[in-house]
Amino acid sequence: MNDPSTEFLRVDGVVKDYMSGGQRLRVLKGISLDIGEGEILAIVGPSGAGKSTLLHIMGFLDRPTAGEVHFRGTRVSALSDPDLARLRNRACGFVFQMHHLLPELSALENVLAPLMVRFGVFEWVVQGAAARRRARGLLERLGLSHRLHHRPNQLSGGDRQRVALARALVGDPQIVLCDEPTGNLDAATSREVQQLIRDLAAETGKTFVIVTHDVNVAGLARRVIRLEDGAVVGSQRT
Ligand code: ADP
């Protein structure tokens, strides 16, 4: 029998091609990885190596050209687009370099957005109050109790990433995918956000996959995978 820890998320021979100027560009050249439940994995490598592309495939935002992704026994390529979107909404939380908060919504509303998508109008009537409590609780945990009704342009860069972390966690995801989460922050704020990611990973026991070229951020991980030119060229446990 396989080790259950290898059955959480498995990337198996993943290839990704893009068409660029009429040419086929092979961005991922057959990546295989097993990610265990509760693991904190960093993916490092130079710009253009394919890190974000791999992260998007691991978070079901994109499909590989060839190869498979298995999540808890589900062959992801077999899912229809709506089923893939449902899986993504339930299983994944995302934190991007550019926060991607909706500018017209408050911090609290931004955090609630993934749950509004999940529940739809009718279920929201039943679930909305509990969802709001959960979102508030997370924002308070992240030190933003005094910023609940501020819009993104009224928040500092660090506070925006705190809101993005709350939004990533509000749906109780099984995996949190972070793409250069501190890439846009000054050094001191970056350290604060790193500490929060470390604490949240420990508190929640959730799986975190973090793309970064910051060695300090990579230091949060228990395993660091190095990607170069679309291939894994190194793997180190810390
Ligand atoms: P990294 O995150 O390591 O910087 P990316 O995964 O963003 O690398 O990109 C890898 C390569 O794929 C780059 O050469 C990039 O230009 C190319 N690429 C990424 N997305 C697309 C796209 N949608 N269409 C064409 N080329 C793309």
Q: What is the pLDDT along the chain (238 residues), one digit of tens a residue?
A: 445 445 899 999 999 999 988 999 999 999 999 999 999 999 999 999 999 999 999 999 999 999 999 999 999 999 999 999 999 999 999 999 887 899 999 999 999 999 998 898 888 888 899 999 999 999 999 999 999 999 999 999 999 999 999 999 999 999 999 999 999 899 999 999 999 999 999 999 999 999 998 888 888 899 999 999 999 999 988 8
State how far the Cα of 188 lies from the Cα of 211, in Å rounded to an integer: 20
pLDDT at 218: 85
The SS3 call for residue 233 is: strand
pLDDT at 1: 42
The SS3 call for residue 65 is: coil
pLDDT at 113: 94
pLDDT at 160: 95
In this structure, the number of other CB atoms found within 10 A of the CB of residue 54 comes to 27
Residue nearest to atom 26 of ligand 1 (CA): 18
DSSP state of 153: G
Q: Which residues line the pocket of ligand 1, CB cutoff 6 A? A: 18, 20, 25, 27, 45, 47-53
pLDDT at 4: 44
Q: How many residues does the chain have?
A: 238
User: Which phi and psi angles does 8 have, rounded to 5°?
Assistant: -80, -65
**Which residue of 14, 16, 18 sits with most ligand 1 atoms within 8 Å of its CB, as the best mutation to test the pocket?**
18
pLDDT at 3: 52
State how far the Cα of 13 lies from the Cα of 32, in Å rounded to an integer: 5
Q: Which atom of ligand 1 is nearest to the CA of 19?
A: 25
**Which residue of 14, 20, 27 sits with most ligand 1 atoms within 8 Å of its CB, as the best mutation to test the pocket?**
27
* Cα torsion angle, 131, 134, 137, 139, sign: negative
Q: 32: closest CA among 83, 88, 89, 70?
A: 70
CATH of 38-61+81-237 among 4.10.520.10, 3.40.50.300, 1.20.1250.20, 2.40.110.10? 3.40.50.300
Residue nearest to atom 7 of ligand 1 (CA): 52
How many helices (H) and strands (E) the chain has is answered by 6, 10
* Beta-sheet pairing, 175-179 with 66-71: unpaired
Tokens of 120: 């739809």
- Give 76 Cα–ligand 1 centroid separation in angstroms: 22
Sort residue 94 into left (φ over 0), alpha (ψ -120 to 50) or beta. beta
- Give 200 Cα–ligand 1 centroid separation in angstroms: 29
- Indicate the domain borders of the chain: 38-61+81-237
